[in-house]
Amino acid sequence: MDPSTFLQFFVNGVLQGCIYALAALGLTLIFGVYHFVNLAHGFFIMLAAYLVLQLCWWGVTPILACIIATILVVLVGFLAYLLGFSRLFGASFLAQIVSSFGLAIIIENSLSLIWKSDVKVIHILSGAISIGNVMLPISRITSAIFSVAATLLFFLMLSKTRLGKAIRAVSQDPEGASLLAVNVNFIRMISFIISCALAGFAGTLLGQVSAFAPHDGHLWTFRAFAIAQLGGLGSFTGAIIGGLIIGLLESFSVLWISAGYVDAIFFGALLVMVLLRPTGILGVGRTR
């Protein structure tokens, strides 16, 4: 295999991986704070993509569309939170899985009712630039750049702000945090909102880079889970690493196996990781 082909697929993988990492951050945040995997996560991502599509059809400028879509997803998530999602913390494992699936299904069906079930893509930026023999579609570059920016913002918030410190405290030790006068319930609510924002924003970017249809929501949920698990469930750095690895694995699978397996690669990675090294690559993951 010649080096420029390798480089092409490598770059594809990294660019995609940046967005994947962002998509997984929200799931990791929810897991850290609630000890619960939100199975509707992928559908918040999908919802954002569809909203951007619709807003662009209505002639809204793309950047504004992305921002509005993210905000709308946060509102929808907050609505779900108020309507009872908040009770899922502490509920039995069965209740958590089944209820979040229920929500996921409702969103999925709503999406196909409103926008039909055919496959859509968001075309905002077209064209590509070439560096040497490597072709870089502009939409992929900008999406990756925005993902990295959002990720950096998130990490900054986490490490420098009081809110971030409170979130980290609640993730590690809710009882201890409450003793230190942290309003745990408030932090949990804020974390859910931030998670929706991360998912929404990731959705606006993913929609420009991949084709999507309502049922893909489940794939996004489990892809995000696989990424989080790969890096170590509960670790934000792990989510970044996991995102990049999955991005690369999927990219090279197109080259080495076939494009048809792209949506099964992360499932395979998940299987291998859980069976062989449940604490993730970094070894810091929680095994529930």
Q: Which is nearer to another protein, 89 or 101 (CB)?
A: 101
Contact with another protein (CB under 8 A) among 55, 69, 103, 124:
103
At 133, give phi and psi (nearest 5°): -95, 5
Contact characters 69-88, another protein, x per CB under 8 A: ---------------x----
Q: How many other CB atoms are found less than 10 A from the CB of residue 4? A: 11
Window 217-256: residues binding another protein (CB under 8 A): 218, 222, 225
User: Which residues between 204 and 223 bind another protein (CB under 8 A)?
Assistant: 218, 222
Contacting range for another protein; rule: CB under 8 A; set: 131-139, 183-191, 235-243, 258-266: 258-266
Q: How many residues does the chain have?
A: 288
* Residues 6+ away with beta carbon under 8 Å from 99: 85, 88, 91
Report whether 27 contacts 266 (CB < 8 A): no
Does 264 interact with another protein (rule: CB under 8 A)?
Answer: yes
In Å, the largest CA–CA distance within the chain is: 59
Residue among 267, 277, 281, 282 that touches another protein (CB under 8 A): 267
By CB under 8 A, residue 275 contacts another protein: yes
Q: How far apart are CA 94 and CA 277, in angstroms?
A: 25
State how far the Cα of 233 lies from the Cα of 279, in Å rounded to an integer.
7
The phi, psi pair for 137, rounded to 5°, reads -60, 140
Phi/psi at 59 (5° precision): 90, 10
Total binding residues toward another protein, as defined by CB under 8 A: 36
Comparing CB distances to another protein, the nearer of 108 and 239 is 108
Judged by CB under 8 A, the residue of 23, 27, 108, 194 near another protein is: 108
The CA-CA-CA angle for residues 180, 184, 186, to 5°, reads: 125
Among 6, 25, 269, residue whose Cα is nearest residue 164: 25
271 lies in the binding site for another protein (CB under 8 A): yes
105 lines the binding site for another protein (CB under 8 A): yes
**Least separation in angstroms between CB 279 and another protein:** 12
- In 3-state terms, what secondary structure has residue 120? strand
Structure tokens given for 169? 């405290």
Q: CB-wise, 154 or 212, nearer to another protein?
A: 212
Q: Least distance (Å) from another protein to the CB of residue 255?
A: 15
Binding site for another protein (CB under 8 A): 37, 84, 93-95, 97-99, 101-106, 108-110, 112-113, 218, 222, 225, 258, 260-261, 263-264, 267-268, 270-271, 274-275, 278, 287-288
